[in-house]
A and B are shown apart, each in its own frame.
Chain A
Amino acid sequence: MQAYNRLLDSPPPVLSKLSFFIQRFNYELAVLSRFFIAIVGGYFFTAVSVSLLSVVVPVSKVDAVLLSVSASILIYALVFIYSFYLQSLKTVWISILLSIAVQFFTLSLMKGWL
């Protein structure tokens, strides 16, 4: 019985190495993950939201495009700051991914891509 327990307690060597790595570089990984969601997540968030904006605004096509690209960097910067503003990294990831999904869904409905 004891031997069985021991078997459960100690994970296979690869996994244990991985968990050691995660513990050892916990802080660094958190930082990397935050930068990743800020840069890549922020990029996709901005891309989707400016595309949505350009479809929504009731002006001519050229104007809609120019207006939305002019606002794009403002949006990107805000998302970037936001992902460093919240303490919980999980909330940051979920909120950004979710809002990208919602916006993309809305955009697809409006453009009839689905």
Chain B
Amino acid sequence: MKGSFFRSMTWLHTWVGLLVCWLLYLIFFAGTISFFRDEVSLWNQPSIHNIEQQTDRIGAQKQQIITGVEYLNAQAPNAPNWRITLPEERIPYLTYGFAKPKEPGQRRASFNNSRLDPNTMQPLPPFVDTRGGNFFYRLHFDLHYIDVKTARWIVCFASLFMLIALISGIVIHKRIFKDMFVFRANKGSRSWLDVHNLSSVFALPFHLMITYTGIITLIFMLFPHPVNTVYEEGMTGFFKDFSPSNPINNKAKGEAELVPMKTILDQVYTKWPNADINRVMISNPNKAAATIMVLVSPGKALRDQTPRLIFNGVTGELIAQTDDELTGSKALYESLNSMHTGRFAEPLLRGLYFLGGIAGCIMIATGCIMWAKRLRERMKKNTQPSWGLKLVEGLNLGTLMGLPLATSAFFLANRLLSKQVAERADKEILAFFLTWLCVFIIAFVKRDKLQWCVMAAINSIACFSVPVVNALTTEGNIIQYLRNDQWALFMFDSLFLLFGLLFLLQTEKLRTGLQTKKRLHISTQEQKI
């Protein structure tokens, strides 16, 4: 475009980055929280905070499944579907659920769930209505308030632009290794550039991986063409081959007794002696067409599709199953997907994923701040900023400061809203978006250093208040969590304290900046006099 390759890549990096940086910040932010989806859901649901860790979680599964089938058979013998969801390492409770008859217009039947403490097998206190971690998980690729399909296309293209920005960023970065150890503090936009480089280069493999694999998770929407070329029946044909649960089409009529769960489970344990069963799904129970699907945790394997066995529910014979050995391309595709979701990650690796996500947020945030800073620095004195610059600055303040505040508001709403409020889960989400909207309104009225300072202070207060409100409204608090080894909850609260502290530091830094500026202003005025 202009002169050398280097210059055109610089241009591309700047503009592609700027075009989507705020949306990408939202995607990275929500995605980073989603690595702790189960922990967020746990925190949002106080009635499951005090479930004791099971001594032998996997050993208890067989009995839990058998009890579950007996329970469901007594509760809803004619329900179209039964579902037994077993406790997992990060999900402490047990759920027995049966599908309620579909209401007109409903795509999927809703479930009547009984949730139990797996140690005592006693029902848990009623759950509060909340989306928990699923809100952030969905926000990450479905956005909110807009059509899911449109949202996913937008997210796909934003991610593509991210990938382009990363590649062009690597190209224009001449001293990639040297800059890894360079940080010049308090040097205006130069410092921002250093932070931008540090956060990008340190986590570069993560950024590239997460962006590429992110698009791969939505690839059949973005590029359905290979499927349509190879398969006559298109997607249906492909998924029939790809996923083993689809060929089931048992049309048998009439009633029949369900095969004893023991015979099914014996087959599962013969195949996988150490199976960690996640879920058992029974469709058409007590009918001749009954099917039983057993889903087993893939453990640390890089697999996206949960390994499963599918049985005939009357004869107990194995009908279908996931591949034991993956072929090369299947392994490639599955590992790309599972690397993105990181479901296999143990605490340490999960922590690294989280840090990578934060590095991504910092990279994006410093990128868009730098753009505005540079324009400001180049501007001659006493000239009015262009509307473009104002827009960028407004979006910067609104997004970078608004999103953390909205997140705090979401969690505060979870604790402060009355349990009886109708559509409570939606109200929590409303609190999230209303808070964000308020920040945006402020940002578009004024977006000077003072507003940044005030926003940082408000964010700091909000972050500190989350653990405090939690301690006041529930039975637990951060000190108790530490003493009772409730690590997930302890980490949740302490992260909020940490971010509160960081926002406090930012407030202090901005405030001293404001004061020196004021002092300079006064001294120049004195000189004039």
Within 8 Å by CB of A73, from B160, B226, B332, lies B160
Set of chain A residues within 8 Å of B215, measured between Cβ atoms = 73
Binds B, one of A5-13, A14-22, A64-72, A93-101: A64-72
A81-B167, A84-B8 are known contacts. Are A65 and B238 too (CB-CB below 8 A)? yes
Taking a contact as CB atoms under 8 Å apart, the answer to whether A50 and B223 are in contact is yes
A111 nearest in chain B by CB position = B229
Q: Scan A87-109; emit 1 where CB is below 8 A from any B CB, else 0.
A: 10000000000000000000100
B449 within 8 Å of A (CB atoms): no
Set of chain A residues within 8 Å of B242, measured between Cβ atoms = 62, 66
Taking a contact as CB atoms under 8 Å apart, the answer to whether B227 and A65 are in contact is yes
Q: Scan A18-51; emit 1 where CB is below 8 A from any B CB, else 0.
A: 0000000000001100100001000000111011
B9 within 8 Å of A (CB atoms): yes
Q: Scan B189-228; emit 1 where CB is below 8 A from any A CB, else 0.
A: 0000000000000000000000010011001101101111
Set of chain A residues within 8 Å of B216, measured between Cβ atoms = 69-70, 73
A54-B229, A63-B329, A66-B333 are known contacts. Are A72 and B1 too (CB-CB below 8 A)? no
Taking a contact as CB atoms under 8 Å apart, the answer to whether A59 and B9 are in contact is no
**Distance, CA A59 to CA B220, complexed state (A):** 19
**Distance, CA A84 to CA B164, complexed state (A):** 11
Taking a contact as CB atoms under 8 Å apart, the answer to whether A70 and B336 are in contact is yes
User: Which residue of A46, A64, A65 has the most chain B CB atoms within 10 A of its CB atom?
Assistant: A65
Taking a contact as CB atoms under 8 Å apart, the answer to whether B1 and A63 are in contact is no
* Contact size range, A: 35 or more
Q: Scan B381-419; emit 1 where CB is below 8 A from any A CB, else 0.
A: 000000000000000000000000000000000000000
Taking a contact as CB atoms under 8 Å apart, the answer to whether A60 and B229 are in contact is no
**Distance, CA A53 to CA B228, complexed state (A):** 13
Set of chain A residues within 8 Å of B220, measured between Cβ atoms = 69
CB of A36, distance to nearest CB on chain B (Å): 13
Total cross-chain contacts (CB, 8 A): 104
Set of chain A residues within 8 Å of B163, measured between Cβ atoms = 73, 77
Within 8 Å by CB of B229, from A34, A39, A51, lies A51
Taking a contact as CB atoms under 8 Å apart, the answer to whether A85 and B329 are in contact is no
B328 within 8 Å of A (CB atoms): yes
User: Which residue of A50, A55, A77 has the most chain B CB atoms within 10 A of its CB atom?
Assistant: A77
Taking a contact as CB atoms under 8 Å apart, the answer to whether A54 and B332 are in contact is no
Set of chain A residues within 8 Å of B336, measured between Cβ atoms = 70
B241 within 8 Å of A (CB atoms): yes
Set of chain A residues within 8 Å of B12, measured between Cβ atoms = 81, 84
Set of chain A residues within 8 Å of B229, measured between Cβ atoms = 51, 54-55, 107, 111
A48-B225, A63-B328 are known contacts. Are A70 and B333 too (CB-CB below 8 A)? yes
**Distance, CA A63 to CA B327, complexed state (A):** 7
Q: Scan B134-170; emit 1 where CB is below 8 A from any A CB, else 0.
A: 0000000000000000000000010010011001100
Give the B-binding residues of A (Cβ under 8 A): 30-31, 34, 39, 46-48, 50-51, 53-55, 59-70, 72-74, 76-77, 80-81, 84-85, 87, 107, 111
What 6 A-B pairs have minimum CB-CB distances, sorted nearest first?
Answer: A67-B329, A54-B226, A66-B333, A63-B329, A51-B229, A66-B329
Q: List 17 A-B contacts (CB under 8 A).
A: A48-B225, A51-B228, A51-B229, A59-B329, A60-B327, A61-B238, A65-B227, A65-B230, A66-B242, A66-B333, A72-B223, A73-B160, A77-B160, A77-B164, A81-B168, A84-B1, A85-B8
